[in-house]
Amino acid sequence: MRVLVVGGGGREHALCWKIAQSPLLTRLWCAPGNAGIAAIAECVGIGAEDIPAIIAFVRENAVDLVVAGPEAPLTLGLADHCRAAGIACFGPSAAAARLEGSKTFTKEVATAAHVPTADWARFEDPEAARAYIRAQGAPIVVKADGLAAGKGVVVATTLAEAEAAVTEIMEARIHGAAGAAVVIEECMLGEEVSVFALCAGTEAMFLGAAQDHKRAFDGDEGPNTGGMGAYSPAPAFTPAIEAEVMARIIRPSLAEMAARGTPFTGVLFAGLMLTATGPRLIEYNVRFGDPECQVLMLRLESDLLPFLRDAAAGHLPAEPPRWRDAPALVVVMANQGYPGPVVNGSAIAGLEAAAAVPGVAIFHAGTRGAPGAITAQGGRVLGVAAMAADLAAARDAAYAAIALIDWPQGQFRRDIGWRAL
């Protein structure tokens, strides 16, 4: 098969890394890719959101399957344009991708499907939003309604913090058009877990779970980020909880989407809170998580490509995926200042030595250059991942590899995996 992966982050590096191992693969491209992806796929200079250029490329190169990495091209209709051109695409239609593109839409679907989730309200007027917050009290959650690259959520512990979030999102527009409206939710208590399901219409197959670390600093302090590390499996996510999630959350949501005429195809990422009364939906994403994808790909024993191919064709494989028993953990190395403004171009050395640590795989997220001359470009830059006999050994291997990376501009959390350990 001739495959194009769309995107250029750590998730896409992990997808390319796994797809490249498939005996079904004949050629692999990535648009736009990054310095790490270039070692295993042909990177093409097309932006992930340049839909016309992507369609022209897949036609010219007889691509068999397009695999969408990030959410933005999906919300822009990448899958629709591929299918209109007769090209298979792993990912939902633009209409179905509203599950991530609009927090309001997700809450409406969850409510209609009787999916357990937080109480919520939507506001387009900032003063009304602040009045609602004062009436509800803190802690409370404020979310930008639209796409904000994983940064549009504020878990406010005080009324002042919640009201400030409304000001920043709706009036200062720190997330741009995503902040035209906000969804305000009750603050659920428990452990957060990321659950993935391979979907084709009303059919769903469990595709792994992980726990990630959203806060920027050790001890779950600081601002929310796109994710500073993850591990899998998640000890708190038991087989009984898995069965409950598939029956009460995933499949009812798919049935509601199909009833609305917007059936979902691809991977559905459910962010869940494991509360005292059972699992409850926080949000849906319409693609693999980042950095969760990195640990899932390390643990996945099955060939990934048939799963992507079959779902893109509208059906699920006959057999569920096989997983390695060994746990995996990834630590994200970010540019100094992330998730705020960063300075690009700092040199990164020592990657070869770090990658030689047993059990370690390094996934590039925001890099440029060639081996020996790698520079940082963006917020999250590297994902240093490891798989070992137990989670403590995987953690130790990842941090041993980080110690060999010479990048003074980098920052990372030193407590990834603390909940499980």
Average pLDDT over residues 326-330: 98
Would you place residue 147 in the very low, low, confident or very high pLDDT band (cuts 50, 70, 90)? confident
Residue 266 domain flag = yes
Same domain, 278 and 257: yes
The pair phi, psi for residue 349, each rounded to 5°, is -125, 165
Residue 364 domain flag = yes
pLDDT at 245 over 80: yes
Would you place residue 151 in the very low, low, confident or very high pLDDT band (cuts 50, 70, 90)? confident
Q: For residue 267, what is the domain's CATH number?
A: 3.30.470.20
Same domain, 252 and 354: no
Residue 396 domain flag = yes
- The parent domain of residue 239 ranges over 191-312
Same domain, 195 and 280: yes
Residue 317 domain flag = no
- For the stretch 17-63, pLDDT in tens is 999 999 999 999 999 999 999 999 999 999 999 999 999 999 999 99
Does an H or E element contain 366, and which?
Answer: none
Would you place residue 194 in the very low, low, confident or very high pLDDT band (cuts 50, 70, 90)? very high
The pLDDT > 90 percentage for the chain reads 95
Q: Write down the mean pLDDT value for the chain.
A: 96
Same domain, 214 and 303: yes
> What is the C-alpha end-to-end distance of the chain, expressed in Å?
41
Three-class secondary structure of residue 201 per DSSP: coil
Same domain, 201 and 295: yes
Residue 320 domain flag = no
Average pLDDT over residues 219-228: 91
Paired sense of beta strands 2-7 and 27-32, if any: parallel
Domain end marker among 266, 283, 312: 312
Would you place residue 146 in the very low, low, confident or very high pLDDT band (cuts 50, 70, 90)? confident
Gyration radius (Cα) of the chain, Å: 20
> CA nearest 268: which of 97, 61, 421, 40?
97
> CA nearest 4: which of 83, 61, 49, 72?
61
C-alpha span between 15 and 7 (Å, rounded): 10
The pair phi, psi for residue 115, each rounded to 5°, is -80, 130
Residue 306 domain flag = yes
Q: How many separate helices (H) and strands (E) can be counted in the chain? A: 14, 23
Q: What pLDDT is attached to residue 333?
A: 98
Average pLDDT over residues 337-364: 97
Q: What pLDDT is attached to residue 48?
A: 97
C-alpha span between 303 and 69 (Å, rounded): 18
Q: For residue 396, what is the domain's CATH number?
A: 3.90.600.10
> How many structural domains does the chain have?
4
Residue 23 domain flag = yes
Residue 285 burial by Cβ neighbours in a 10 Å radius (0-12, 13-18, 19+)? buried
Q: What pLDDT is attached to residue 327?
A: 98
Q: What pLDDT is attached to residue 119?
A: 93
Same domain, 299 and 238: yes
Same domain, 201 and 308: yes
DSSP state of 320: P
pLDDT at 149 over 80: no
pLDDT at 150 over 80: no
Q: What pLDDT is attached to residue 115?
A: 97
- For the stretch 156-180, pLDDT in tens is 999 999 999 999 999 999 999 989 9
pLDDT at 255 over 80: yes
- For the stretch 382-417, pLDDT in tens is 999 999 999 999 999 999 999 999 999 999 999 999
Average pLDDT over residues 113-131: 95
